Structure 1
């Protein structure tokens, strides 16, 4: 069972989905924040269903937004609360992915995660620990949490593309290298892309890189 109950949806343009992209939004946003990315991606991925769930918790600092877990330096929560929130939302996301596989008749290898900021953190937490490898993970402007536990807890190794703006003032640019180094050390195939002159956001060149990655790793 999952606490995820509101999900934005854009159907496959072909009318028959053979793959799915699941967007995971950042702290204080909601599923609508990323669902608009389906518009430029869909013509190039005509057999792909796009889903964008709301995170399961109301954001502590923005009651109109959602969060996957609290962030102590933003909302004054304790580190223990953040860790517990991460664990609980990981369970929610895993249950949601299982639901999608069942309801849409898709295998794990037909599903990719595209995260932004806290959504990237969730993607990097959940994807390696799933029993069946996902098609891939695209992570914008995030970081790898619990890096010290990654190698011991890795079950599957989906390919990954990590992208980060080099003038990001919210999640430091250096987190890109820290995440990619740790993932590669644990045996993951990781590509990185620097979005030059970009802050905490998604640049056109970054979106183009994401599209190329998704086309390469999702079934036609």
Structure 2
């Protein structure tokens, strides 16, 4: 039986480089459960002045929510909201995100060293699941208010990609202890990981998180990004 996700092509709102030049960096913004790409593309607008050579895209997740009245989309279904469900769901959705990333990198004539993944909530799960398992390491992964799927299954991960985790201490959707779990597991696996827990912040991104994420992306992308030579 074929997987219907294999036939889907992701797309979403885009921002061209503020400089007007051909993109030398690509930042992919992965939204949370029940949102869509128009939600996270605003991060790109906030970071354009820091990353004027970057193209931003915020793909819409592949599945509509099962209850249409609420609108929005999901990377994978949430019913139990258990660690097992998060791992299985992220693994199932990984291939379609991988294909999308490959397509976007070819579109811009770039490789993974010029790629950064940024996620919020369920989008953070996808950024970590997919980004840590790319054949070539992305330049950076930023995760807001999310968790690490399969924190006990990092033995197969071989990546030099640095990770930034930002999480509010008052998050009642994805509790902040998940940030500590992710940081510990990534560090134990030899992955450079910075953790910032923001006092008083609920399940959202505030100006502190924007500043931390923008600074991290600028630092990491400036180290490695370059177009693929042609000819």
Measure, in 1, the Cα distance between the counterparts of 2:80 and 2:66.
12
Q: Residue 161 of structure 1 is aligned with which of 160, 164, 186? A: 164
1:128 match: 132
Aligned pairs (5 A) from 1:66-145? 66-73=73-80, 84-145=88-149
Measure, in 2, the Cα distance between the counterparts of 1:193 and 1:17.
29
* TM-score normalised per structure 2: 0.88
1:8 match: 13
1:217 match: 220
Contact 2:64–2:74 at 8 Å: present in 1 too?
yes
Q: Residue 65 of structure 1 is aligned with which of 56, 65, 72? A: 72
1:97 positional shift:
0.7
Summarize deviations over 1:33-66 as a string: whole Å, max 9, x none: 1101122210111101010000001122455110
Alignment pair present for 1:17 and 2:20: no
Contact 2:164–2:216 at 8 Å: present in 1 too?
yes
1:6 positional shift:
2.5
* 4+ long deviations beyond 2 Å: 1-6, 60-63, 82-88
Measure, in 1, the Cα distance between the counterparts of 2:88 and 2:189.
24
* TM-score normalised per structure 1: 0.92
Q: 5+ unaligned residues in a row in structure 1: which ranges?
A: none
Contact 1:2–1:96 at 8 Å: present in 2 too?
no
Measure, in 1, the Cα distance between the counterparts of 2:217 and 2:87.
30
Measure, in 2, the Cα distance between the counterparts of 1:124 and 1:145.
8
For the structure 1 residues 2 and 111, does the alpha-carbon distance in structure 2 shift closer, same or farther, using more than 3 Å as the test? Answer: farther
